[in-house]
């Protein structure tokens, strides 16, 4: 089961990174195209804060989530050997079972 968790963590981190990278490029491309198309200084003043906020959010999620996934993967891999070799308890009747 821990191998499945590690495989999932390996898939999710890069997926989030690349999704955020594509969204960041699309957002900035649309913003630049709109400003060039309208040549409106008022539009730039009105939307700069929102575009900057979305850029910061996308960069934060795009870097933060893969970082957390990596730390979680390392933690799972550190715990996996001890979980695989759990000691067995021996009952009074001689049968062995996991603790």
Instruction: Kindly state whether residue 43 falls inside one of the protein's structural domains.
Output: yes
Instruction: Kindly state whether residue 95 falls inside one of the protein's structural domains.
Output: no
- Give me the mean pLDDT over the 53-72 stretch: 95
- Give me the mean pLDDT over the 52-81 stretch: 92
Higher per-residue pLDDT: 39 or 58: 58
Number of domains present in the structure of the chain: 1
State how far the Cα of 23 lies from the Cα of 16, in Å rounded to an integer.
10
Mean pLDDT for all residues in the chain: 85
Instruction: Kindly state whether residue 56 falls inside one of the protein's structural domains.
Output: yes
Instruction: Kindly state whether residue 51 falls inside one of the protein's structural domains.
Output: yes
State how far the Cα of 66 lies from the Cα of 17, in Å rounded to an integer.
7
Read off the pLDDT band of 19 (50, 70, 90).
Answer: very high
Residue 38 has pLDDT above 70, yes or no: yes
Instruction: Kindly state whether residue 89 falls inside one of the protein's structural domains.
Output: no
> How many C-beta neighbours within 10 Å does residue 75 have?
11
Q: Domain span at residue 70?
A: 2-79
């Amino acid at each position: 089961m821990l191998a499945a968790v590690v495989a999932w963590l390996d898939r999710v981190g890069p997926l989030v990174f690349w999704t955020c990278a594509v969204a960041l490029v699309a957002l900035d491309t649309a913003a630049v195209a709109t400003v060039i198309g309208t040549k409106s200084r008022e539009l730039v003043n009105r939307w700069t804060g929102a575009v900057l906020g979305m850029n910061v959010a996308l960069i934060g999620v795009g870097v933060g989530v893969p970082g957390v996934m990596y730390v979680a993967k390392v933690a799972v891999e550190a715990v996996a050997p001890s979980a695989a070799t759990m000691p067995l308890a021996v009952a009074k009747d001689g049968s062995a079972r996991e603790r």
